[in-house]
């Protein structure tokens, strides 16, 4: 597997566009299109929030019941959530319009929305945007970037990615774009994420792969603990690479799984690092846990702790807050028999019990002697690593979050204006 | 029942003091004493955090195994958590010293600590503080206030309270002091809370009363979602009112329960309103829920939502965030069949389904037409009320939180310095 340039248009047969449709703001791209020259197998995971945006309900139907998908129409500015029957009608009309313009079936159109909850979309603006998108769509790298930029809201960084992987002698490509900065605490999946691939793979295999992979990628990030109404992650596979179909239990399956995991983990980390107002990515890895679920719960508790997040923002080595967050997580661990480190650099050795790349700050009930100066330096890096050694079993997990800053409050005290 | 002036020294036979002991900072009261002239029945509830501060472990032993308690020694500045065997030794030595100076048994001394986690206390300073406390203790109202002020950390408001209640012709008095501003998300109980009473009541009755009451009082508040290592709520009953013993199932029990509930609810609300950096109390009441636990979960989810908290700070009627927080709470409700209001004033009528004192903002799937100007005004009050009508059953619950402000971040980015 190797990372290549580009994003959603990197795989064969995918076109894209991003245009200004004036949905909520002027002078910014706010509608995006992903279009495949051939019909796609589509798999999706969606928010677990009981309040599901209209486009989430729409996509759930398409992914489950349509024979195939061929386009995704996304708008930013308005989330089309909390919009009742009118919101669902907008999805139907949007799909109808896109189907007509792109000359594909209505039930091959997926829809994504992100932005403020409760406001209604203007169908006229959406239709005008679709016309522009259809006219501009192309398979170029630049077109993929246009689409990826068009789905950003409070994001400060464009998040696209592509990898190539060899599947039984055939090069298969995967591309992705994701957005999300606030209201990030995915449960099943994040705000909006799209993965394109030219792999040949059937619906059930792709769906199972995706559902299993989000558990340790998108579901392990949090910006603010708020699980969005619009969380959507879609994978579209158009089969144009021409590989033998990917089947479970083969080494080809494993290669594809690894590529998809790399895409999802990288994009999830980027969302956390670009959390609203964030200055630093906080990566917490828990090793030697008694169970996998314990490891996940503990790692996530640390990156969700407001006090830990604020301490990282202040570059303040107030490790009691990390210990406290482990304590209230509700998972198995013994505070009198565990260790906490700051990681000086990324390390795979910690999974083998070698913490030489870390600085010990707490062990077996009390603080360790360490240099506050060095700790402050580690907490001032753009990536802050916290390692927890539970000294119990063999399970591990990593979670990603970000610091809590003045800007998070500023952005969210006045998001609508 | 009526509220009276004063706090922990209001009930008969209770003395108190607050002194400067120089535990962490100079020129502020940082040690407090509660002393009863007669032995007390003691009941307590403590943090559910697996990381329990040494004084929490100490108090759990005393409350469960000692025949009686007669004094509480509290320090601020250092939490004595994450301090291992040395931290436990400090509790033993503190109790020994207080017992000697006050001439009571060592196992009648309760201990409380609050402040930074991980630092060790200086026994010399503690002992000097105890000597001062013993010398200054008295039954005056001012002495109670001194103690209440001494336990404050980032609190901006002194939180004491006293009520009188008639129990079978005898006046029984309850007094209280509480502190807590950050790391507030009690689970079993809050940071530090102390209630004194001269009622005659046995240990088991008092303990059961207390445990049941925290569920809808202290356990329904949150400032930042972080459950402290030091949460402690103690009730000391010295029996000096001379009432007939309070027994379960009597109307005297009910009168005492109501008084204790008033104390706990009032103190819990004060903690939420004085949350770190807070400008406003957010009170969320969920009515007509299918079950009590659903009502609690939904109310708490709203007051814990970072995005809702930031919107209140910005006086921004972004009700989608309230709906979103209800949606991810994981409790029973139908977003297509419920209503959300801002309360214009406190109202008991909402329990009867009368929302005339509220402003409807969302109903049955979509936003309601309302005046943004009036909404902004309601969201600018020091108490912001959110009412949720689930239109399902008869259960209800209220939770209290506060807005998320620049000052919360500021206070916690640099708490230790």
Domain with residue A390: its CATH number is: 3.10.20.340
Q: Evaluate if residue A189 carries a pLDDT over 80.
A: no
Overall size of chain A counted in residues: 417
Residue A268 in tokens = 């999830």
Are residues B103 and B211 located together in one domain of the fold?
A: yes
Residue with the larger pLDDT of the pair B416 and A164: A164
Distance from A64 to chain B by nearest Cα, in Å?
A: 23
What 3-state DSSP class applies to B82?
A: coil
What 3-state DSSP class applies to A203?
A: helix
What is the pLDDT confidence band of residue A188, given thresholds at 50, 70 and 90?
Answer: very low
DSSP code per residue over B366-383: EEPP--HHHHHHHTTSSE
**Mean of the per-residue pLDDT values for chain B?**
92
A50–B116: do the CB atoms touch at under 8 Å? Answer: no
- Residues of B recognised as catalytic: 190
Domain with residue A80: its CATH number is: 3.60.70.12
Residue A110 φ/ψ region, left for φ over 0, alpha for ψ in the -120 to 50 degree band, beta for the rest: beta
How far, in Å, CA of A224 to CA of A402, rounded? 9
Please, what's the b/e burial string for A172-185 (b: 16 or more CB within 10 A of its CB; e: otherwise)? bbbbbbbbbbbbbb
Dihedral angle of Cα A394, A395, A400, A403, to the nearest 10 degrees: -60
Residue B217 in tokens = 């009082």
Q: For chain B, what is the domain count?
A: 2
How far, in Å, CA of A238 to CA of A195, rounded? 11
In chain B, which residues have their Cβ closer than 8 Å to the Cβ of A154? none
Closest chain B residue to A339, measured at CA: B82
Within 8 A by CB and 6+ apart from A204, the residues are none
Read off the pLDDT of residues B291-336 as tens digits, 9 standing for 90 and up.
Answer: 999 999 999 999 999 989 999 999 999 999 999 999 989 898 999 9
Neighbour count for residue A411 (Cβ, 10 Å): 17
Distance from B182 to chain A by nearest Cα, in Å?
A: 8
Are residues A161 and A223 located together in one domain of the fold?
A: yes
Most B CBs within 10 Å, among A190, A413, A415, to test the B interface = A413
B323–A406: do the CB atoms touch at under 8 Å? Answer: no
Eight-class DSSP state of A331? S
Are residues B257 and B286 located together in one domain of the fold?
A: no
Beta strands in A275-368 (DSSP E): 281-289, 339-343, 358-363, 366-367
What does the pLDDT average to over A12-30?
Answer: 94
The number of C-beta contacts closer than 8 angstroms across A and B is: 216
Cα distance from N-terminal residue to C-terminal residue, chain B:
44
Residue A94 in tokens = 């949007």
Chain centre distance of CA A199: 21
Read off the pLDDT of residues A320-337 as tens digits, 9 standing for 90 and up.
Answer: 999 999 998 989 899 999
Read off the pLDDT of residues A271-280 as tens digits, 9 standing for 90 and up.
Answer: 888 888 899 9
> Interface pTM (ipTM) of the complex?
0.84
What is the pLDDT confidence band of residue B193, given thresholds at 50, 70 and 90?
Answer: confident
Are residues B195 and B308 located together in one domain of the fold?
A: no
What stretch of H or E contains A302?
A: helix A292-304
Closest chain B residue to A310, measured at CA: B413
Least confident stretch, A242-246, B21-25, B49-53: B49-53
A82–B367: do the CB atoms touch at under 8 Å? Answer: yes
Read off the pLDDT of residues A106-153 as tens digits, 9 standing for 90 and up.
Answer: 999 999 999 888 899 999 999 999 999 999 999 999 999 999 999 998
What does the pLDDT average to over B367-379?
Answer: 95
Are residues A359 and A258 located together in one domain of the fold?
A: no
What 3-state DSSP class applies to A50?
A: coil
**pLDDT the model gives residue A57:** 95
Closest chain A residue to B331, measured at CA: A50
Distance from B134 to chain A by nearest Cα, in Å?
A: 31
Closest chain B residue to A405, measured at CA: B409
Are residues B341 and B362 located together in one domain of the fold?
A: yes
Which among B233, B252, B273 is the end of a domain? B273
Q: Evaluate if residue B182 carries a pLDDT over 70.
A: no
A409–B410: do the CB atoms touch at under 8 Å? Answer: no
Dihedral angle of Cα B186, B189, B194, B196, to the nearest 10 degrees: 150
Which among B237, B255, B273 is the end of a domain? B273
By percentage, how much of chain A surpasses pLDDT 70?
Answer: 97
Neighbour count for residue A97 (Cβ, 10 Å): 21
How far, in Å, CA of B280 to CA of B291, rounded? 29
What stretch of H or E contains B322?
A: helix B320-328
How far, in Å, CA of A360 to CA of A358, rounded? 6
Distance from A309 to chain B by nearest Cα, in Å?
A: 8
What is the pLDDT confidence band of residue A230, given thresholds at 50, 70 and 90?
Answer: confident
Q: Evaluate if residue B386 carries a pLDDT over 50.
A: yes
How far, in Å, CA of A353 to CA of A389, rounded? 8
Read off the pLDDT of residues B220-230 as tens digits, 9 standing for 90 and up.
Answer: 888 777 777 88
Q: Evaluate if residue B190 carries a pLDDT over 50.
A: no
In chain B, which residues have their Cβ closer than 8 Å to the Cβ of A229? 320, 323-324, 327
**pLDDT the model gives residue B192:** 87
A335–B85: do the CB atoms touch at under 8 Å? Answer: no
Contact A308, A403 (CB under 8 A): no
Are residues A224 and A342 located together in one domain of the fold?
A: no
Read off the pLDDT of residues A375-408 as tens digits, 9 standing for 90 and up.
Answer: 999 999 999 999 999 999 999 999 999 999 988 8
Closest CB to B51 among A79, A327, A412: A327
Nearest to B382, CA basis, from B341, B340, B345, B339: B345
What does the pLDDT average to over A203-226?
Answer: 89
Residue-range definition of the domain harbouring residue B296: 281-413
Are residues B260 and B367 located together in one domain of the fold?
A: no
Are residues B252 and B372 located together in one domain of the fold?
A: no
Eight-class DSSP state of A106? G
Write down the residue that tokens 């925290």 correspond to. B214
Q: Evaluate if residue B415 carries a pLDDT over 60.
A: no
Are residues A229 and A301 located together in one domain of the fold?
A: no
Q: What are phi and psi of A87, to 5 degrees?
A: -65, -40
Distance from B187 to chain A by nearest Cα, in Å?
A: 9
Read off the pLDDT of residues B93-140 as tens digits, 9 standing for 90 and up.
Answer: 999 999 999 999 999 999 999 988 889 999 999 999 999 999 999 999
Q: Evaluate if residue B270 carries a pLDDT over 50.
A: yes
Measured CA distances, A165 to A23, A171, A250, B202, B218 (Å) = 38, 6, 15, 72, 55
B182–A307: do the CB atoms touch at under 8 Å? Answer: yes
Dihedral angle of Cα B40, B227, B57, A336, to the nearest 10 degrees: 180
- List residues bridging with A78 in a β-sheet: A116
Closest CB to B412 among A86, A304, A311: A311
Angle, CA of B402, B404 and B405, to the nearest 5°: 120
Which among A225, A248, A273 is the end of a domain? A273
Q: Evaluate if residue A46 carries a pLDDT over 70.
A: yes
Are residues A228 and A368 located together in one domain of the fold?
A: no
**pLDDT the model gives residue A227:** 76
What is the pLDDT confidence band of residue A70, given thresholds at 50, 70 and 90?
Answer: very high
DSSP code per residue over B92-147: HHHHHHHHHHHTS-GGGEEEEEEEESSPPP-HHHHHHHHHHHHHH-BSSHHHHHHH
Neighbour count for residue A61 (Cβ, 10 Å): 12
Read off the pLDDT of residues B36-90 as tens digits, 9 standing for 90 and up.
Answer: 999 999 999 888 888 889 999 999 999 999 999 999 999 999 999 999 999 999 9
**pLDDT the model gives residue B32:** 97
What stretch of H or E contains A257?
A: helix A251-273
In chain A, which residues have their Cβ closer than 8 Å to the Cβ of B85? 365
In chain A, which residues have their Cβ closer than 8 Å to the Cβ of B319? 82, 117-118
Are residues A257 and A303 located together in one domain of the fold?
A: no
Closest CB to A327 among B50, B85, B406: B50
Closest chain A residue to B323, measured at CA: A51
Q: Evaluate if residue A205 carries a pLDDT over 50.
A: yes
Residue from A76, A83, A190, A227 carrying the catalytic annotation: A190
pTM, rounded to two decimals: 0.86
**pLDDT the model gives residue B365:** 92
Measured CA distances, B167 to B170, B200, B208, B246, B271 (Å) = 5, 10, 19, 8, 29
B409–A409: do the CB atoms touch at under 8 Å? Answer: yes
Nearest to A178, CA basis, from A209, A157, A201, A204: A157
């Amino acid at each position: 597997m190797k990372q290549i340039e580009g994003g959603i248009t990197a795989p064969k047969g995918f076109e894209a566009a991003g245009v200004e449709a004036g949905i909520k703001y002027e002078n910014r791209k706010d509608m995006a299109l992903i279009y495949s020259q051939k019909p796609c197998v589509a798999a999706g995971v969606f928010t677990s929030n009981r309040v599901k945006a209209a486009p989430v309900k729409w996509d759930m139907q398409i992914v489950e019941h349509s024979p195939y998908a061929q386009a995704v129409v996304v708008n930013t500015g308005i989330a089309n959530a909390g919009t009742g029957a009118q919101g669902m009608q907008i999805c139907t009309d949007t799909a109808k319009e896109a189907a007509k313009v792109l000359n594909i079936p209505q039930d091959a159109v997926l829809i994504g929305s992100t932005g403020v909850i409760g406001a209604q979309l203007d169908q006229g603006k959406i239709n005008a945007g679709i016309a522009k998108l259809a006219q501009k769509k192309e398979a170029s790298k630049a077109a993929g970037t246009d689409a990826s930029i068009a789905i950003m809201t409070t994001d400060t960084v464009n998040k696209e990615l592509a990898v190539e992987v060899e599947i039984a002698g055939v090069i298969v490509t995967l591309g992705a774009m994701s957005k999300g900065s606030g209201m990030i605490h995915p449960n099943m999946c994040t705000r909006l994420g799209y993965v394109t691939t030219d792999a040949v793979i059937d619906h059930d295999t792709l769906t199972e792969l995706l559902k299993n992979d989000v558990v340790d990628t998108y579901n392990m990030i949090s910006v603010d603990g708020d699980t969005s109404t619009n969380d959507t992650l879609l994978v579209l596979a158009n089969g144009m690479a021409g590989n033998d179909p990917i089947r479970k239990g083969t080494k080809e399956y494993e290669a594809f799984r690894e590529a998809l995991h790399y895409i999802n983990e990288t994009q999830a980390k980027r969302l956390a690092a670009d959390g609203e107002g964030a200055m630093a990515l906080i990566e917490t890895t828990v090793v030697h846990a008694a169970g996998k679920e314990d490891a996940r719960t503990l790692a996530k508790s640390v990156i969700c702790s407001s006090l830990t997040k604020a301490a990282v923002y202040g570059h303040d080595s107030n490790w009691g807050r990390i210990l406290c967050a482990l304590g209230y997580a509700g998972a198995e661990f013994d505070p009198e028999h565990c260790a906490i480190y700051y990681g000086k650099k990324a390390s795979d050795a910690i999974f083998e019990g070698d913490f030489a790349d870390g600085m010990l700050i707490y062990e077996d009930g009390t603080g360790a002697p360490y240099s506050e100066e060095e700790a402050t330096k580690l907490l001032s890096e753009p990536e802050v690593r916290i390692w927890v050694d539970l000294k119990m079993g063999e399970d591990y997990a990593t979670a990603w979050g970000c610091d809590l800053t003045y800007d998070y409050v500023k952005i969210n005290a006045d998001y609508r204006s």
